[in-house]
Amino acid sequence: MQTKSSAPANNGERLMRILVFTLIISVMNGTMFNVVLPVISKQFLLSPSQVSWMVSGYLIVYAIGTVTFGKLTDKYSLKNLLTFGLIFLAAGSLVGIVSTEYWMMIVARLLQAVGASVIPALAMIIPIRYFSPEKRGRALGTSAIGIALGSAIGPIIAGFVSTVWSWQVLFAIPLLALFTLPFYRKYLDDEKGSDSKMDFIGGVLLAGTVAVLLLGLTNGGAWYAVIGFVLLVLFVLRIRYAAHPFIDPVVFQNKAYTSGLAIAFVLTAISFSTPFITPQLLSQLNGLSPAVIGLIMLPAALITAYMGRKGGRLADEKGNSFLLTAAAALLIFGFICLSTVAGMLPVFVAVSLIFTVLGQSFMQIALSNTISRTLSKEQVGIGMGLFSMLNFIAGAVSTAAIGKILDLGTTTIRFNPIPRNDAAFVYSNIFLALALLVAIMASLYFVPFGRGSDKATAERTGTARL
């Protein structure tokens, strides 16, 4: 079996450059259709809940696929898994291009989600497998560049393509990812785990749990919660008593890992709030069109892309705790600024977003790096897969919760005395609450992961030798 030590030393850098392009395409594919949902709804005479399946269906399959591909790295090589994923992504794109009915487009999005969900596993495992812990932050920072650029140009390209041609042309853009496949097959090694059996029952129970809970968050309904809880109990029983469980319960006995997951879940949910709430603020309070909103959000994404590797370098040189502190400070300051300027000129929102979006990127690097160091080599695949899956669930929780708050409408209560527009009070209050949550969760981070803990964690789990 080929190992990392037998691969050329510079393969990691080559793979990261290819990964950045892949991440740009992947993130764009996940966000582009948000811009054209009103057009799709009008064309096919769909209600908001019906057209939302273009997004929610993709999200559910993507979240399940992320942890599944993470588990499959225990049995198959990244090279073969990536080949499978990109082919599925292309198949979904082709179905979308020729679709004439709405149900065909849903099928296309689900196929795309199956294939694209290999990319988060790739983005987590390549930095861990091809870079030592002391250089891993730079690699994760490079990944952040692709995510930031995809977030920045996705809405703009979607608006341009749907205006000049047709929104259905958006299905063709993910086909560009196929150009990376020969390079991945050249530079990825054939390393794989020794696990020869797969617990399909456990996998189905986990998938069912995630799917039902996400449906409950997006559509509401107590029955979703009940069914999801039952499936979760069955899944826990399955992994406790199965001979070869889908997820080894030992990973949850790792207190540093479980603590990191809990903290990361809340902080990720907070980070997801910014791209969800900002367009609604700019649309409701400033009356801006989707295209202009995209331009307002563009500077923050471009600056974050430029600063991505610098954030990773800070993690390597100063430690994850230092980077997380910087990220928390940026987020808190940015949220306070957004709370203050809600309802004012959009340029003030654009400047405030720079701090929150950059803080979000730094936070993701610090959390990914921290959690990766709590895992042994045998636990990396499923451990980071669970981490990625929980990121998407956190996003669903965040958008559902904030959406419900915004549904309540305006409020006369305001915690920030500066905004004067009554309609801005609810947005201002939400941003202040998010700033407070960041301060609380960042403080909790230092309980298991205080300064100087990086080296001790790496030595305890053996990641220093990966």
Mean pLDDT in order along the chain per 10 residues (466 residues): 45 83 84 73 71 73 78 78 90 89 88 87 77 73 74 74 80 89 84 65 81 72 83 86 77 84 88 77 78 79 77 78 90 92 88 90 84 76 75 74 72 72 81 92 84 49 44
Contact 64, 204 (CB under 8 A): no
Domain 7-193 has CATH 1.20.1250.20: yes
**pLDDT for the residue 3:** 41
Could you identify the residue written with the tokens 């995809």? 150
Nearest to 370 by CA among 323, 329, 328: 323
Cα–chain center distance at 319: 23
3-class SS letters over the chain: CCCHHHCCCCHHHHHHHHHHHHHHHHHHHHHHHHHHHHHHHHHHCCCHHHHCHHHHHHHHHHHHHHHHHHHHCCCCCHHHHHHHHHHHHHHHHHHHHHCCCHHHHHHHHHHHHHHHCHHHHHHHHHHHHHCCHHHHHHHHHHHHHHHHHHHHHHHHHHHHHHHHCCHHHHHHHHHHHHHHHHHHHHHCCCCCCCCCCCCHHHHHHHHHHHHHHHHHHHHCCHHHHHHHHHHHHHHHHHHHHCCCCCCCHHHHHCHHHHHHHHHHHHHHHHHHHHHHHHHHHHHHHHCCCHHHHHHHHHHHHHHHHHHHHHHHHHHHHHCHHHHHHHHHHHHHHHHHHHHHHCCCCHHHHHHHHHHHHHHHHHHHHHHHHHHHCCCCHHHHHHHHHHHHHHHHHHHHHHHHHHHHHHHCCCCCCCCCCCCCCHHHHHHHHHHHHHHHHHHHHHHHHCCCCCCCHHHHHHHHHCHHHC
Distances (CA, A) of 183 to 180, 203, 221, 321, 369: 5, 31, 46, 35, 26
Q: What is the number of other CB atoms lying within 10 angstroms of the CB of residue 323?
A: 26
Tell me the two tokens of residue 439.
Answer: 């301060």
Buried-exposed string 215-252: b where 16+ CB fall within 10 A, e elsewhere:
bbbbeeeeebeebbeebbebbbebbeebeebbbbeebe
Cβ proximity of 159 and 33 under 8 Å: no
CATH code of domain 250-466: 1.20.1250.20
Is there a contact between 69 and 121 (Cβ–Cβ < 8 Å)?
Answer: yes
Single pTM value for the model: 0.73
How many Å apart are CA 420 and CA 75, to the nearest integer?
Answer: 59
Q: Are 290 and 35 in contact, with CB atoms under 8 Å apart?
A: yes
Cα separation, 83 vs 18, in Å, equals: 14
Buried b or exposed e, range 373-410, using 16+ CB within 10 angstroms: bbbbebbbbbbbbbbbbbbbbbbbbbbbebeeebeeee
**Angle in degrees, 0-180, between the axes of helices 200-219 and 380-407, rounded to the nearest 10:** 20
Residue-level pLDDT at 5: 41
